[in-house]
Structure formats: structure tokens, C-alpha cells
Structure 1
């Protein structure tokens, strides 16, 4: 029997309670998040000593981060600001990588027992000058075979990472007596085959660095989980690779994964109100539905969401779903190759309410105030109640 789908649809109660919210509003389905995390963690547990961490860049909402920490996830941060969020949320395990960290930040990370994964030779040299003899992580650049590359990958052409065979890497490590203990890679979206390849690659690198004890294989779980059964097969193969490596080297090694969008995107719902409907736009040659929320301000990465009617089930038809700014390409559902993507949008008129799915990650972390249009109010659906996210945080602080 094939494994159950990773995504758990929300209960009808979420949409019933949404009727009382002002628009625009962003709703996080907590039961869905919990079910998705548990399913993904169940799969990853096939690998000995493997853990699931949240890429914090996907979500900066403290109330949601507190839920993720309470589920036992670790997290990866890319800035001092994200580090503050992670600490306040209560994540027990924190990793860090990113070009923004300064020498002051090096000390702040070390004081918390966090090993920085340096993402360039220059950053590694700066770290070594400031903290000679310290342990350090290395973000590794992986040259994927051409068959594993596509428009969603960032491997050999990434701006981040160090090539393990670069002679300068050895010189920098030796010059500052740095001790590499972590390897970290992120190659954009990954497939089951690229996961197998990256695991073999990084285990080979780790074999030549005797103090490495952790490998972070990054995120990119959207493509990995296009078929859950294939993902599970890949995790099983990774488990065999890790077990064989341990037996051959006599060393222990732990693996980490850090999805962001795949953990949260499916469980966010953007509630909006229709501002206008042009049944046949004279220039764009299609129906254009304009909302009271902006894709340009909120959703530049959200590819092809579903659009639902909150005002009863209605048939859909192709349309461009436009945001409310004066930016020409303010359209929902943009893809890397098309700023204007036709979506299936329910028949509607001004004043009707629509729900845009797949908005649970990167929506608020990407938010901008173009035209001084504020971001939506955030809410948590706990299975029974709709809770204002800011109020939930205040209540949790008072209880603590």
C-alpha cells in the first residue's frame, strides 16, 4: 500500500471561522502543520541519527515558531535577527549559515554553542583570524551531474559554498588551526536521486576531515516529496550509505535536513476580498480579478496556488489574479519564467472573498510595503478556535 500523502487538508471549521475575519488575513493551520511535521519526521527517522530542522527564513512569526520548537524541531538561521527569533521561540538545536554574520556575531554564536557554517573562503578566513583554533562548519558547493540539474537547482553555479578540492581551503584551515566539524549544503530543490548523490559526495568529503560529525543536507523538499514513496526509498538508501560509512570509518555521523517551504507552505491560507473584476481586460485579453492584497508585496515565490471561494462553492474559470499595488506585474501565481500566470479563479464580483492556498511560508518573511500597503493580520487555527497570532504570543508570554 502506498504511503499516505504528506499534506493534510484543513477542516471545514477553519473556513467557517474565517468568515468573521477582516481581510486581508493570513491563517496558519496548526493541526495540518503538526501532521505534516510528524509525517516528514517519520520518514527521515529511517536514517540513524538524522534530524529535521526548520529553515527559519521561511517563517518569522513568533507564535508559529513556538509551535515548531514545541514539536521538537531544530532550526537554521541566516542572520542575527533570525538567531534572536530562534532563541526566543525555544529551539533546542540551532545551526547558522549566511554571509551577513560579522566578527561580533561569530562570538555571539559561539557563546550559544552554535558552529557557524562559513559559506565562502573569505568568510572562513575572517572567522579564523577572529577565532583561531576554533571549530567551524563549511558550506560545501556541490557540482551535480548535468542529469540532476534543472531550473530549480543551485549547485555548482550557486553564489554560496566552498569547493572541497580547492587548495586554498586547506591553507585557510591550517593557517588558523580551524577544526571543521560540520558540512552544510543547499542546492535548491532536490530529487531522490540528487539526495543520494549529495549524501555520497558529502560522506566522501567527511572521510577526509576527521572531526566532522554532522552533515546538513539542506532543504528543497518540494521536489523531493512530489512522490512520497520515492522520497522514502531515497531515505532508506541514505540510511544504508550512512551505515556503511560508519562501519568503514569507525566514526559516528549525524545528518540534518532543513526544509522550510515544504514544512509550512501547504498550511497557510490568505483570505482576501475582491476589489474589482474585469471580465475581459482590453489589453491582457483575459479576465482580471483584483484583490485587496498584493502578490508583489507578499508572494513573489508562490507558484500556482489554488484559489477558493469563501462565499459558497462556485465554478472557476481562467483569470489573472491581480494584487492591489500599482506595480505592473503584481499577479499571484508567478513562476520563475512567467510573471503573469493564468489561474483557475472562481466566478466572483467586487466584495466577494477568496482564499489563496499555499501561503504558509515566505509570505511574511518576504513582505514589503510597496505603496504603503500593510501586510495581512496573521491568525492561528488550532482545530477549534481562530486565534490572533500577536495575541497568542502575548498570552504565551504572560503564562511564562
Structure 2
């Protein structure tokens, strides 16, 4: 994805952006938590993805909108040539608002309603069926007509779990897709394609963070072999596209990108060489790996204290922005940087520190037992590698408002320019969202 020198340049850009954000007041006493996204880093990741898959096989790269459902981010990716994978009506509308055409969308919700299926069919949006009941529903909606867009079937190759069970979607009992190793499943899938001329894709996604590349390749190989079997059985290339999902793990231990997209493709070429010979259009759905390394959450240290001999830095970024890290710290650890009140990296002696958030429960910690430069009130703590999920998957615990998000670019002269991606939510907006307009509703109901 990036070389070591490119990773160092990204780190340099981030350091400059943090200093500039403090200087411009984007982070400080009146805005104690903010998200920062390195635009150049995102575009470099897109270029690396394109380069890795370059070859005879046509490829449609889509961005998994769940990783960062912010319209300006989606529009940036649309302008960079990406498509968009959506898994809900909200993500679909965000993608359309961002400028993705219907022909650049893939709709993957496992719980698509009749209305959502009708919309996809009417506009030629590609989608993947999750089960045979959904397939029967599409039968009724099409009523013998041809489909305007590609329609695939998601299969579960049941190849096993990675290190994080919740991120593994090819286990024996995964909720996604048709389980291929269940009795009679393969024959049922082949029969389904034989009976439905409008079915023309297969989709397999093994999982994401915590799933090793060989496991992902094993699942994709199962989908490829099934496609070959179906096409041979039907005597013509009915299946013309294979959606291989995304799921490239992200390295949260240091600055380097590993594994890279090139590593992933090399593994796939070894395990499934026929996948790349040009007979199938490949569809990808990467999300976290495109954005994570380019994002930073910066937060002001409000207080420092000690408890049981452990130093604690109390900040304004906790479970509301780093939900997975707080509740599953071993699976989702984050690198932490400490900057002084002017936004400059702190150096010198270190101490063992727990970094705490503002939420009112004891486990609201974004890092525990870290060796960090001495942290003081007014310093800025940076949570690195937070470009995916951390910006747009807000957890409204304690009614904490959503922070502002800014994108940034660094010019040849080293000057940082910012662009507002999402405004900070005001406390008034939090109150309005909590039912302010209906404040008297229950009192009135009680009175009657």
C-alpha cells in the first residue's frame, strides 16, 4: 500500500496538521475533541488498490460505506473512481448524495425489504441476495422480467474464524449468506442458478480485522470453484462476476501498512490463479484499509490524576468515538501520541498512563498501561489509525455530541489546509434529537 518512506511522510503530515489544528482553534478548550483525515493518504491508498489489481480481469472497486458514512468522504472516493458498497437505506442515500451513479453501487444488506429490492431493481443497482427466501421474493418482483442490473448470491464458504469472532463472516454458523458446507447447499445453489437467468454473480466475504490473508483466499477460492462448477453445469458463462468482498486487515501496531493490497493479490494469485484471467469481473468492497491509517482523533487532556499508583489522563474522547476500542481493547488497540498545548510532539521522560474518556463508566479507557511522555492538563492526545469507523459510528452514551471532522492536505511549502467534513453537533441539537418537540407527549398521555 505504501512504502516505509511514504508512511513517514504521512506521519509528518499528521504532525503538521495537529499543530495547525491547535493554531487555528480546531482543537482546544472550546472544541476538545476533533477528527482529522489526511486526504493525500486516502488517495494514495486508492492508487495502491488500483495498482495491485491491475491486469486482464476487469475490476470494480467499491468502498464499504459503513467504514465512514460521511458524504464528503464518499464524494472524494467517487471522484477517485471508486464505487460504493452500501448495506442500509441510509448508506444508499448517502452514496447517492455523494454522487455515485446507480451503476457504481452494490447493495449488500442481509435484511432488504420489499421496497428496497423494488428500488434496486427499478434503478439497476447491483445487489447480492443473502438467502433463498430473498431469492423467492425477487422471483415474485421480477415476475419473469429480466433484471436491469447484476444480481448475485452471497455464499458462506464456512472456512472458519479469524482472531476476532465478531469480524469473521465465514464461520459454520455465520448469519450471512448460504452456508455451502450444510447438507444439500451446493446442489441447491446450482439449481437456483439453473432456474434463474437473472442470477449472474457470486459473493463471498470471509471477514475483516483479524482474518489472515490465507483464510480470506481460501474462502474466495471456494466461491471461484463454485462459479466454475455452475458455469460448466449450465454450459455457458452464466456467472460473469465474483464479488470477493474486502476485509484487508489493518496494522494498528505501528505506522507501516501491512499487509498491503499487493500482498493480498499475490496470495490470491497463488491460491486462485484463474480468478484473474479475465473471464470474471471482480468486485471488491474494501473499507477500513482505505481510510484507517489516514485518520486521527485529537482530544484535549482535561485532568491528570493517580489511582493505585497508575497515572490517568482524562480526555474528551472515549467510547462515544472509539466504541470498539473501549469495549474490546485487545482486539482494537490504538496507538497514542501526546502533544503539548501548542500541538508539538512531547518528548522526554515517560510514565505509565491510562488514557480515559469522558463517559460515565469505569471501562471508558482508550489505552491502558501505556508508556507515554509525561501528560499534563491542556496537552493534546492523538488516537492514531482512526480514519475508519471512528468518525462516523458515534455511540451516543451520556448524550455526548458528535465531534467535528476536518480533512486536510499539506502543500509543498508544508502549509496545512483544512476543509470541514462534518460540523460538530451542538448540545442543543443533542437535546432536539432526544425528542424535545415531543416533551409533553407522555405527560399528556398520562393525563388522558
TM bucket normalised to smaller: 0.7 to 0.9
SS at match of 1:342: strand
User: Partner of 2:443 in structure 1?
Assistant: none
User: Partner of 1:361 in structure 2?
Assistant: 388
Match of 1:347 among 362, 374, 389: 374
Residues 47 and 238, structure 1, Cα contact 8 Å, conserved in 2: no
In 1, Cα distance between the equivalents of 2:153 and 2:382? Answer: 42
> In 2 relative to 1, CA 270–110 (structure 1 residues): closer, same or farther, beyond 3 Å?
same
Match of 2:11 among 2, 9, 12: 9
Match of 1:218 among 241, 245, 249: 245
SS at match of 2:40: helix
> In 2 relative to 1, CA 274–154 (structure 1 residues): closer, same or farther, beyond 3 Å?
same
User: Partner of 1:286 in structure 2?
Assistant: 310
Give the paired residue count: 370
User: Partner of 2:445 in structure 1?
Assistant: none
Residues 72 and 91, structure 1, Cα contact 8 Å, conserved in 2: no
Residues 325 and 371, structure 1, Cα contact 8 Å, conserved in 2: yes
Match of 2:214 among 193, 216, 219: 193
Residues 196 and 237, structure 1, Cα contact 8 Å, conserved in 2: no
In 1, Cα distance between the equivalents of 2:361 and 2:56? Answer: 47
> In 2 relative to 1, CA 265–47 (structure 1 residues): closer, same or farther, beyond 3 Å?
farther
User: Could you list the runs of 5+ residues in structure 2 that have no partner in the other structure?
Assistant: 232-236, 252-256, 326-331, 411-415, 424-448
Larger Rg: 2
What are the equivalent positions in structure 2 for 1:72-151 lying under 5 Å apart?
72-92=81-101, 93-133=104-144, 134-135=146-147, 136-144=151-159, 149-151=162-164
> In 2 relative to 1, CA 268–197 (structure 1 residues): closer, same or farther, beyond 3 Å?
same
Cα shift readout 1:270-317 (whole Å, capped 9, x = no counterpart):
1101122223x23xx6322211122x2111234222211221323443
User: Partner of 1:396 in structure 2?
Assistant: none
Residues 306 and 344, structure 1, Cα contact 8 Å, conserved in 2: no
In 1, Cα distance between the equivalents of 2:389 and 2:396? Answer: 15
Residues 39 and 408, structure 2, Cα contact 8 Å, conserved in 1: yes
SS at match of 2:176: coil
SS at match of 1:222: coil
SS at match of 2:69: coil
> In 2 relative to 1, CA 227–97 (structure 1 residues): closer, same or farther, beyond 3 Å?
closer
In 1, Cα distance between the equivalents of 2:422 and 2:61? Answer: 26
Cα shift readout 1:244-281 (whole Å, capped 9, x = no counterpart):
6x6xxxxx2111221111111111111101122223x2
Q: Shift of the alpha carbon at 1:238?
A: 6.2
Match of 1:388 among 420, 424, 431: 420
> In 2 relative to 1, CA 298–243 (structure 1 residues): closer, same or farther, beyond 3 Å?
closer
Q: TM-score, normalised by structure 1?
A: 0.83
Q: Shift of the alpha carbon at 1:235?
A: 4.7
SS at match of 1:81: helix
Q: Shift of the alpha carbon at 1:188?
A: 1.1
Q: Shift of the alpha carbon at 1:125?
A: 2.5
> In 2 relative to 1, CA 356–78 (structure 1 residues): closer, same or farther, beyond 3 Å?
same
User: Partner of 1:394 in structure 2?
Assistant: none
SS at match of 2:375: coil
Residues 352 and 372, structure 2, Cα contact 8 Å, conserved in 1: yes
Does 2:427 match 1:375? no
Structure 1, 25-34 or 128-137: larger mean CA deviation: 128-137
Does 2:322 match 1:299? yes
Q: TM-score, normalised by structure 2?
A: 0.75
Cα shift readout 1:157-192 (whole Å, capped 9, x = no counterpart):
3211113451554666677x4632121122113433
User: Could you list the runs of 5+ residues in structure 1 that have no partner in the other structure?
Assistant: 247-251, 334-340, 392-400
In 2, Cα distance between the equivalents of 1:240 and 1:169? Answer: 23
Residues 46 and 235, structure 1, Cα contact 8 Å, conserved in 2: no
